[in-house]
Structure 1
Amino acid sequence: MIRTAIITGALLLTTAAFAQSEPVGATVEVNGMQMYYETSGEGDPLIVLHGAYMNIPSMGAIVPKLAETHKVYALEFQGHGRTTDIDRPITYENLSSDVAAFMDAVGIEKADIFGYSMGSAAGLRLAIDYPEKVDQLVAASVGYDVSGWQPAFVEFIPQMAPEMFVGTPMEDEWRKLAPNPDGFRAVVEKLIALEKEPMAWEEDVKTLKAPMLIIAGDADVSTLEHNVALFRLLGGGDMGDMGAPLPASRLAILPATSHTAVINQTDLLYGFIEPFLQGETPVGFMGQ
């Protein structure tokens, strides 16, 4: 999740850095809002979900890279990018419901999901709440319990206020795409409230059916211990080469990588994501 003014400002710097690979933009009515999305590429459907305060362009080069091997549907969430805001809080349950409704509206029965930050938590909720719609889930910088956030961030959450965002260059960037250029404060207030919502999804995670690739930076907003705990909940973390097949879920930790640096490492991300989505597993000399 995008957590501070510094984090969101850094992400906005990526907005103009990359061009999309000839995407086709459109809007569709979803749960009372006009949701903007872009399609690109050919192949199996892959839905891309951005982080808080972000939009499709700020996801950077990973979107056109994934479109080389998949039909990518990149969405913009409630109050983000070109999607309208509505009189409703932004919660992970609401976001996952929006993705499910989007899939119904455009005729996608089941898809792979790639989410980053807030989008990864929305993707996780989608896999929990609508398991029939998710084939495989790639979650970059995700959390499943508030106990997994870094202590420094936990201390910062009560200090978050709209004034950290409103009237800054971040608002100027947001206004360039927003259907309602005057609605930034309302979105910020909803996103701050989202940070303060309880999150305790361990029992839900245990019910997951879809294989999951967890991606995190070694200096991410979630602790390393939290990411390992999530991997273990999905059946990972045991020794291979002992005769049993490896679990379907996987864990990848990016070195020297903060939260905002995760999404900018296109080649590393693709190198982890594509083999996972294709079901490819490295083979050791023990034959596994």
Structure 2
Amino acid sequence: MLRKILMALALMIAAPAAAPAIAQDKPEGKRVEVNGMRMYYEVSGQGEPMVVLHGAYMNIPSMGAIIPKLAETHKVYAIEFQGHGRTTDIDRPITYPNLADDVAVFMDKVGLKKADIFGYSMGAAAGLQLIIRHPDKVNKAVLASVAYDTKGWQPEFIAFIPQMTVEMFVNMPFAQDYKKLAANPDGFPGLVAKLIALEKEPMAWEEDVKKIKTPILIISGDADVSTLEHSVALFRLLGGGAMGDMGKPLAASRLAVLPATSHTAVPDQVDLLMGFIEPFMKGETPKGIFE
């Protein structure tokens, strides 16, 4: 089981999704000072602004084709988090509140008063904290593979967390890939230590989630790292799950479950993801047969 989990993680990081067939202008890469680090980001596309937040151990390239696809309809600001990709590390733990505050400062630095958010995995949890801590900065959010409580992780993953060591990650293939982009090529062990500590951080945000007014599209694989029951519970906390067709408007938030999709396969389901994301962003809902 342990080896399978590590190999899945390695495949996700080492093999970015294929580029889209539609030609895209090369994204413009920039750096900005954020809370003591030099944060790298890329800007692409036109339209309403959207900030893209990657998962743990990832970077902009490893998010694959979803970024250029989003850039067909949005002006995308894809960032690289503390110690990831080309962003420098600093003497500070990686926590979800810290990541969220970094995004808020980044938005201030690049002149984004408000934006949509797309976050995956660690980036989705950071996006959820951004909504909790800085609600005025988020218009709508798409959060893929997210949890609001550590009890929502699959039992296998909960059992795996205490077994995590720096050594098992530094010997994986993506440890070498890290050096190709990193501001500090020797910084991978330190990053791993911080990310292992992040997995052990308490996470119980139910009371905060209940107060959220921001529309959120929750996306989960049906074999994701968070349980389906947890995704449904999150949807209900956001006001979803009631019966339609009874004269009341649908909830502003939505839930989508990707079939036959594990955690590491979520970002690659680009066409399926966009089929959920674009109607949500436009406020479109399917019409009932009697409408």
TM-score, normalised via structure 2 length: 0.95
Task: Measure how far apart 1:216 and its partner are.
Answer: 0.3
Residue 227 (structure 2) aligned to one of 223, 226, 243: 223
Residue 76 (structure 2) aligned to one of 72, 79, 96: 72
Q: SS where residue 172 of structure 1 aligns?
A: helix
Match in the other structure for 1:35: 39
Q: SS where residue 165 of structure 1 aligns?
A: helix
Within a 5 Å distance, the mapping from 1:164-243 to structure 2 comes to 164-243=168-247
Q: Is the 8 A contact 1:138 1:213 kept in 2?
A: yes
Match in the other structure for 2:114: 110
Q: Is the 8 A contact 1:140 1:215 kept in 2?
A: yes
**Cα distance in 2 for residues equivalent to 1:251 and 1:103:** 27
Task: Measure how far apart 1:4 and its partner are.
Answer: 4.8
Match in the other structure for 2:134: 130
Runs of 4+ in 1 over 4 A off after TM superposition: none
Structure 1 residue 254 corresponds to structure 2 residue 258: yes
Quickly say closer, same or farther: Cα 1:203–1:68, change in 2 above 3 A.
Answer: same
Deviations along 1:240-262, one digit per CA (max 9) or x if unpaired, are 11110100000000000000010
Q: SS where residue 263 of structure 1 aligns?
A: helix
Q: SS where residue 112 of structure 1 aligns?
A: strand
Q: Is the 8 A contact 2:153 2:226 kept in 1?
A: yes
Residue 163 (structure 1) aligned to one of 164, 167, 179: 167
Match in the other structure for 2:8: 7
Q: SS where residue 268 of structure 2 aligns?
A: coil
The amino acid of 2:96's aligned partner reads Y
Task: Measure how far apart 1:16 and its partner are.
Answer: 7.0
**Cα distance in 1 for residues equivalent to 2:244 and 2:63:** 34
TM-score, normalised via structure 1 length: 0.96
Within a 5 Å distance, the mapping from 1:255-274 to structure 2 comes to 255-274=259-278
Task: Measure how far apart 1:164 and its partner are.
Answer: 1.1
Unaligned runs of 5+ in 2: none
**Cα distance in 2 for residues equivalent to 1:272 and 1:15:** 22
Deviations along 1:30-72, one digit per CA (max 9) or x if unpaired, are 0000000000000100000000000001111010001000000
Q: Is the 8 A contact 2:17 2:65 kept in 1?
A: no
Q: Is the 8 A contact 2:150 2:203 kept in 1?
A: yes
**Cα distance in 2 for residues equivalent to 1:21 and 1:66:** 13
Q: SS where residue 276 of structure 1 aligns?
A: helix
Match in the other structure for 1:154: 158
**Cα distance in 1 for residues equivalent to 2:141 and 2:172:** 34
Aligned residues: 285
Structure 1 residue 245 corresponds to structure 2 residue 246: no
Structure 1 residue 140 corresponds to structure 2 residue 141: no
Structure 1 residue 278 corresponds to structure 2 residue 279: no
Percent of aligned pairs with the same residue?
70
CA RMSD of aligned residues (A): 1.3
